[in-house]
Each structure stands twice: as C-alpha cells, then as structure tokens.
Chain A
Amino acid sequence: MKRANDEIDRRHLLKLGLSAGPALFVSSLLAARPAHAKGAVLRPAKARACVWIWLNGGPSHVDTFDPKPGAPGGGPFKPIKTRAAGVEICQHLPRLADRASDFALIRSMTSREGNHDRAGYLVRSGYAPTPTLQHPSLGAWAAEELDVRGLELPAFVSIGGPSMGAGFLGASYAPFVVRNLGRPIDNVELPRGVDTSRFQRRQDILTELESGFAAQTGDRKVHARQSVYANAARLMSSPALRAFDLASEPASLQAAYGDHDFGRGCLMARRLVEAGVRFVEVTLDGWDTHKDNFSRTKKLMDVLDEGASALFRDLRERDLLESTLVLMAGEFGRTPKINHDEGRDHHPQAWSAVLGGGGIRGGQVYGKTDQDGAQVIEHPVTIADFLATAANLLGIDPDKWVFTPVGRPISLTDHGRPIAALLADS
C-alpha cells in the first residue's frame, strides 16, 4: 500500500472511533527500519516493477540453464553459445541465448525443501511454511510496500495462477488472479439500468452501513473488506483496464510472443507493467517431469524460449527493461540422475534461476555446480538472498521489520543479503 493511503486509513480508523488494536497494527506496519538494519536499500529503486516467470513444478536445471554435457546424467540435449561470453545454455533455448546480455544466470540456487507446496511457499515468500503464520509472497510485499498512488489496477497480478496469498498482510495485497486470458475480468461493467450516479448512491448507502458495523465490531476484517471494495470500484471505471486487452497489439508482436497462453501471459505482463502494475507473476506449469523428462522439458523450453525472449526484447525496445526486473524460477531443480521412467525427481540442493532487466548486470553467470549439477560448489545462493536481491532492486528494504497480527516481528527475507555481484554499476 502507498504510504499516503496508510495515513488515510489510519485516520479513517481513528475517525470511526476504533480501538487501538487495528490502529496499532497499521502503525507497526509503518515502523521504520531498526537501526541495525544491514545493507542499505537502493534509493531510488532500480526497478519500478517486477515480472516473475514462475516455472511451476521445478524445471530441470541440467536440461535448461546449467548444461552438463558428457556427465552420466547430462541427458541428450546439447549446449549452445549465448550472447554472453563463455556462457552456454541448452540448445532448445536459442532465443533466450540471443538475449543473454539482458539477464544474469544464477547456477547456485540451493534450498532444502523438496515438496512442491512447501518449496513453492518458500521460494515465493522466503519462509518455509509454518502452521502458525501465513507469510506474504514477494508480490504481496511489493503491493504493500511500493508507492501505488494513482494506480487503478491491482498492484499485484498473477496470470495463470494458482498463486499464493498475501498471508498476514491481508486480502488487499493478495494477487489479482487472471485465469482466462480471453476474458481476464468479469463484472467490471455496471448492470443495465445503473449509471455512475446511481452506482455512487448505492455506494453511499453501503458506506453508511459499513461504518456502523465497523464501529460496532472494531474488527480489522471489515476494513480489509472495505478496502477491497474500494479497489474494485476504482478498477471498474479505470481506462487502465485496457491493459488486460491484448487485441490492440499488432498481430506481428502477438505472433512473436507465441501462440500459447504463456506467450499471451507475457504480453499481458508487459502491458500491465506499462500501465503501472508493480508485480506480475506469469506461470508456466508442467515442469514436474518425473516421467518423460526430455520430451516434456523440450516442449516447455520451446514455449518458454518464445514467450520470455519476446518479453525481454519488447521491454528493451520500449525502454522498459531498465525499470523492470524479470525473474525466472520455480520451486527447485531436478535430479542429475535420470530415473527408470526417463524422468528426473525433485532436487532442491542445486538449481538455476534467472534475473534480468532493472538493475541487473546481464551477461553473466553467478555460482557453479559440480560436474553433475548435483551440488553447489561456488557462491551458494539461498532463497533469502535471492529474494533480498530482488526486493532491494525494487526499493523494498529486505530487512525492514513488520509486526504480524500476533505481534511477532518479522522481516521480508529472514536476513537475506542482496548479491552485489549481480547488480549493475549505478
């Protein structure tokens, strides 16, 4: 949430004669960084927005970004040269290879979570799931922390879903999930017989009812719901809604992104970023290749290569790449060992991720795995470090403490440190 609105909300709460409870909660969210915060956050932020291409299922790093030709489990794919000197990636990612100067490749991601749900939660939020607290994802943090004054679209959009909620930050920072790219948003038009002035009258009556109920119960849930309603109403009348409509894009550009939902999702992501959306998640599902890894991974790479490379190029051509951080990662990598089903199983110990665009020094590889791709042997990167790097580029202080509803202080990345080597010279 934008700061100005925080203030308004706080005043609003007080005006409603609310107890100190929710007001204290809001003010603690606004608490400044503690004095001992490490690593100064970048101000101004290098990136205004972030697109996270979420590779759901956990892609095989060995078959994509960390080729191991000649290793026993290296698989049939050949490496190819990229724009970046000395950097090779899989032959089935030729267009991305051609854009390698736009991104940095981390080959030393490492974690301990090998279960999809738990790892997906960890990679998106920085925390392993605990039954006692629901953590927000990076996207939700961005929606809460970044200045979105004047933005009429949701700050956080997830294309393809399912995504992860905003945890303790509350429903107002949860992703707006687009499932059907053909018809991204239902019910944005007023029903027949209701014009804007009548809609306003309806809203006025509703506001009166809500104020009474909020004052009576003093419950935060009422305010959360009200703020969702306000955002929904704003969205209805917004010209920014056009950002969801791909039809106005030239046919040649639509074709470049590829004739698949992932490509269309990437194109929508670019339009949303252009319109001021701060965090877009585009999901490419299907990487959980316990069986038939090679044919399936190849098909997915064709799709990824087309959509993601078009996104990099399009952002670059519109001068948006410098202000847009593009991430590519799933929940983990896959075993260097090939199983009985020509598949690969979960492998969180060592895997790859991509960071490109805003504030990243592209054309480089960071970290290294052993000859099989089984273990990290150089510059291990934890999830916390990865998220801290991304947060820092977005101008979010990864060390800032906020208080959860039960009063437990917590920071975004659990002491992650931004990786200096990945950052472009400022």
Chain B
Amino acid sequence: MRPAYVLFCVFTAAACRSGGSRTSHVEAPRAVLEPPAFGAETIDDMLRTEWASRGIVPAGRSDDPTFLRRVYLDVVGRIPTLEEIRAAMLDTSPDRRARIIDDLLASPAYADRWTDYWDDVLLGDYVRPNVVDRAGFRAFLHARLASQTPWNRLVFDLVTATGVNRQGGPEPTGRDEAAPFGATHAAVNWILKYQNNPADMAGSVSRTFLGVRIQCAQCHDHKTEDWKQRDYQSFASCFAGTRTVRLDSESGGGRAPRIAVLDAHRRKPSAAREPELVEILRAPPTALDGTDLSDTANPREAVAAWITSAQNPWFAKAIVNRLWGELLGRGFVDPIDDFRVSNPALAPAVMERLAAEFVARGYDLRYLIGTICRTEAYQKSSEPALPYQVEPAFWSRFPLKPLRPEVLLDSLAVATDLDELLTGTKDGDLAKAKAQLRKQFQATFDVDEESHAASYEGTIPQALMFMNGRPLDRATHAGRQGALLKVLSMTGSDEEKVDNLFLRTLSRPAKPEETKRILPRLAQRGTSRLDAFEDVMWALLNSSEFAFNH
C-alpha cells in the first residue's frame, strides 16, 4: 500500500472515533476500503488537457530544494532547517516528495500553521480582548486540527457553538454563575465576534464556509445573481435566536468577563429597533437553497446541518477552492469566497472532482492538502517556460506568494536561530519576546482594513522594519549565539560558508555566479570579514526570494 493511503486510513479511523453528541446532524465520515482510483495524477491529466487546449506551455518541474522550501512553508508555515534540508537531500528515492508531504502533514507543526491560518480567516484583525478570548479560540482550533477533526464536524461545531467563552473569570461568589449556561467552549468566541448581529454572522458563515457572498444582498437585490434581499434576511434569520449573556461584571478583578452564548427564543419583530433586524426577525429561517427551517427546534443547528451535509451544493467545493487557492496562489474561483454564476470557475471539473473525493474521504483536510501538494501544478517551477507567459495561467507555473506575517517571522526564526538569539537578552522570557515580535510584525504588516495579499508585496514601514528594525539587526549580528556565529565557526572554505548561509535562508546553495560575486566582498579592504558576512546575511533576509514562497 502507498504510504499516503495508510496515512489516510489512520486519519479516517481517528476521525470516526472523535464523534460527539451531535453526530446525528453530521454526515458520518465513511472509511474507504478500496485503494483510491483518484489521485493527484487524475488532476494532472485534467490540467494537462487544459494547458494543451489553450496553447499554454507549462513551466518545468521545480528542483528539490525549491519544492522542499515551498512545501514546508505551505504545510508547516516555516522554511526547513539546515538539518531538515540535509536529511531531505540524502533521500534519492522516486517518491521522496510524497514522503516529505506526508511527514509534514503528520508533524505537530501542521496544526500550528493551520491554527494561524484559521485564526486569521475566522477572527482576523478583530481585537476586543474583553469580549473574545483569542488564546482560547486558538487552543480550540489547534486541538481540532491536531486531532484530525473532519471539516464538516469542525464547521458544525463552530456554527452551533454554545457555552461559556473562557475559563476563570473573577473568584466565584458562592455558586458558579456560569453553570446554567453549560461548560466552557472556546468555539463560542467566534460567535461573539458578531456581537449578536445575525446579519453579520450569516454573511460570514456564508462567505467563509460556502464561498457565497450573500451579504452583498444586505443592501439591495443582487443585480446579476439570483440572490434577493429576502434570501439574505431569511438566512440571517437562522441566527436570530442566538444570545449572549455576560456572566461577570466588566471590572471583575481586572480580568476579562466570561460571556455565555446560547440559543434562546427569538425576539418578536416589534421588539427590535433596527429596521434591518426587524426584517430578519420577520423572515422565516431558511437555508440558501430555499429549504424552510422554521419548524426546527433550533434553526441555528438546523442550518449548520444543512451547511455541512453532503448534499450542500457549495460546502465541499468552497473548502477545496480555498485550500487550492492558498496553496497554488489562485482558486478555481477567484476570489476564493465568491462563487456565483457571473464569476465562473477555471477548470471547474477539477474542483468538482476533488470536492467529491474530499467528501468520500470523510472531509479530511490533510488528505486535501496532501493531494494538492502532490499535483504537478503544485510542483511546477516558478520560472515561466516562455518569457511572455509570465502570468501563471491555469497554474502552469508556480506563482510568487508573499509570506504571511506569521510565516515570515517563523522563517526568520529558523534562518537565524532566533530562539538562541532571544534567550539571555534583556527581553528575558523567550515566549514573551517572541509574542512581542509577532505583535510588531502583525502591526507593521496590517496595511488597511482589508489586508489583501497584494499588500504583502511590501510597504515602506515593512521595508524599514526589515532593513533597520531590531529583529533583523539582532539576527544579523554575529554575537555570541545564532546562525551567523555557527557559520563563522565552521571549518571549511568561505565558499562553503556562503553556501551554508544560502541554505539557512533561501534553502538552496549559492549559484556559481552568486558565489563569484560574494567571495571578493568577504575579502574587501576596509571591511572586516565579520561585517561582510553580516552584510550578506542581511541581504539574504531582505531579498524577495526570502519574502516570497516561489
């Protein structure tokens, strides 16, 4: 059996075991007993046909170091370490790429990276620490991702979440006031983001999990699509019974108050003030395909079951499209969360096939990521085959993807042995220093409300931070610790040292022409050798090749 298949069976079995009280609403993940007839090769065949029929000459295959860096960045959110690169270089077996993919998906770092991703998608820049317990929410995501919770299950749990948002709160005053609201369930923090606004919650659920921007119909009937304002209101109506209850007073000993989320009776339309909310309360709770949910005991739970059912026309496609877009730079549907008739998908057959397979495999996110990483498209070089085919049309070459801030920071940490550099500094506690760095990175990279990928190409403050800021300055000082010191204390020629620096930062050895240019700089008059090495390190960390996944 192929390793991938074994891995898959393990995941599926684990997924089946992780059932809970609400499994009845969720399509039970099915174990597939037959070896897969579908695989990355199926996608390759389909895309080759697309390329041929459009006269696209696809780029060649990426080389091993490039692929290694790419898949590390995408699957575990950082560049490979020197040791990992060396280990991978020793493997010459034909299926070495598949093995790397599987190893990374099985590593604990997988959940770290995708927690960052989903935290960013779900909570985003939303910062109201007094309402949302972000750390708790991240812990929830991390646990679910690490335990291979199937996607349908995870979404169902998120959309239906009830309970108390965080543990603790002020000292109990005799009896536990939270008791009637159920146990602590950090998933509710996502619900709290919407501040009891069913319209916002509905818009977000639809856009994030179904790829449908129903909220465009919030203000007017959609001009080109079938969506009417009424559809939007009826969908939002499913969330109109969700309530929040503050359990502690605001100033409870300086700690953030606990807030409970529960499903209550819907208010009467006449009780609402905002005209928009009146309309939503008047509308019968209805799924986007018109399924009437007004007779259900709990419309929020009913709509969650509808969203995550195998019959839902968007649910599987939306996540397939999202992850395809995350890994390959462009979804079949672009933007990734805008499915509509007037925005047709590229290669829709590939998307549909992959979505069907994803459902058959029990909504296993790792299966999906692993399959995409195995495709020829994902393993293409970023160098265009023909100089005028620069646009990566139909994924015929790998695009340049700017690293997300947290990925950039974690990669910087790997390249420079930042942990060593930070310990023993006046910042003291390593975790604290890293958290502070992370905050600084996020603030600098947060350009505007809608931080689009395009913004990551860089802004002046970002460039200034990288050129002169403390993290880089520290990383490029050949002090008592860190990567640069290790390189300098290596035995071997300068050529080998330069190669080592390139491997640590760009995950590849220096090219001959690069070495030829750099060596004389190390022996330049008027510059200390140490300074010269620091300068090379500085340039590598500031380079576009470092800043992009390519």
Contacts and interface: CB of A to CB of B under 8 A. Distances in A.
B458 A202 contact: no
Nearest to B218: A115
A164 B531 CA distance: 40
B511 A224 contact: no
A162 B390 contact: no
Nearest to B513: A212
B120 interface: no
Contacts of B423: none
A170 B539 CA distance: 24
Given A198-B535, A206-B539, A228-B460, A190 B468 contact: yes
Contact of A191 (B218, B473, B521, B536): B473
Given A131-B213, A221-B400, A225-B544, A209 B448 contact: no
A210 B458 contact: no
Contact of A232 (B213, B273, B389, B464): B464
Contacts of B518: 205
A112 B220 CA distance: 10
Interface string B510-525: 0101100110010000
A171 interface: yes
A186 B464 contact: yes
A131 B343 contact: yes
A21 B448 contact: no
B458 A201 contact: no
Contacts of B542: 202, 206, 229
B168 interface: no
A209 B457 contact: no
A209 B539 contact: yes
A280 to B, nearest CB: 15
Nearest to A232: B463
B136 to A, nearest CB: 27
B461 A339 contact: no
Nearest to B273: A340
A236 B464 contact: yes
Contacts of A114: 219
A210 B514 CA distance: 11
Given A171-B457, A171-B458, A174-B455, A228 B463 contact: yes
A208 interface: yes
A318 B386 CA distance: 56
Contact of B461 (A170, A186, A210, A219): A186
A235 B460 contact: yes
Interface in B453-509: 454-455, 457-465, 467-470, 473, 477
A216 B461 contact: no
Interface in A392-421: none
B543 to A, nearest CB: 4
Contacts of B273: 339-341
A188 interface: yes
Interface string A217-230: 11111101110110
B519 to A, nearest CB: 12
Nearest to B275: A345
B338 interface: yes
B464 A187 contact: yes
A29 B352 CA distance: 38
Contacts of A164: 448
A204 to B, nearest CB: 8
B457 A224 contact: yes
Contacts of A170: 454, 457
B383 interface: yes
A20 B387 contact: yes
B384 A218 contact: yes
A209 B540 contact: yes
B171 interface: no
Contacts of B511: 212
Nearest to A116: B449
Given A187-B469, A229-B463, A224 B458 contact: yes
Nearest to B384: A218
B467 A187 contact: yes
A206 B513 CA distance: 14
A263 B55 CA distance: 59
A101 interface: no
B516 to A, nearest CB: 10
Interface residues of A, number: 69
Interface in B375-409: 382-384, 386-391, 399-400, 402
A231 interface: yes
A96 interface: no
B117 interface: no
Contacts of B92: none
Contact of B539 (A163, A176, A202, A345): A202
B388 A21 contact: yes
B528 to A, nearest CB: 10
A126 interface: no
B311 interface: no
B390 A171 contact: no
A132 interface: yes
Given A21-B388, A221-B400, A224-B458, A202 B538 contact: yes
Interface string A62-85: 000000000000000000000000
B547 interface: yes
B323 interface: no
B452 A134 contact: yes
B544 A208 contact: no
A187 B444 CA distance: 11
> Which of A193, A213, A236 gathers most chain B CB within 10 Å?
A213
A226 B457 CA distance: 9
A131 B457 contact: no
Nearest to B531: A198
A233 interface: yes
B398 to A, nearest CB: 9
Nearest to B125: A162
Contacts of B550: 217
A275 interface: no
B390 A22 contact: yes
B548 interface: yes
Contacts of A214: 544
A201 B521 contact: yes
B544 A226 contact: yes
A132 B465 CA distance: 32
A26 interface: no
Nearest to A22: B390
Nearest to A229: B463
B545 interface: yes
> Which of A165, A177, A193, A231 gathers most chain B CB within 10 Å?
A165
25 contacts: A18-B387, A112-B220, A131-B338, A132-B343, A163-B448, A165-B450, A185-B461, A186-B464, A186-B465, A187-B465, A193-B477, A205-B538, A206-B543, A209-B543, A213-B545, A217-B383, A218-B387, A228-B457, A228-B463, A229-B463, A231-B460, A232-B464, A236-B464, A339-B273, A345-B275
Given A21-B388, A209-B514, 20 more contacts: A131-B213, A134-B452, A165-B450, A165-B454, A174-B448, A187-B464, A193-B477, A202-B535, A202-B539, A206-B543, A208-B514, A209-B544, A212-B514, A218-B390, A220-B390, A228-B458, A228-B462, A229-B458, A232-B463, A236-B464
Interface of B: 213, 218-220, 273-275, 335, 338, 343, 382-384, 386-391, 399-400, 402, 444, 447-450, 452, 454-455, 457-465, 467-470, 473, 477, 511, 513-514, 517-518, 521, 527, 531, 535-536, 538-540, 542-545, 547-548, 550
Interface of A: 17-22, 112-115, 117-118, 131-132, 134, 154, 161-165, 170-171, 174-177, 185-193, 198, 201-202, 205-206, 208-210, 212-214, 216-222, 224-226, 228-229, 231-233, 235-236, 290, 339-341, 345
4 nearest interchain CB pairs? A232-B463, A19-B387, A21-B390, A205-B539
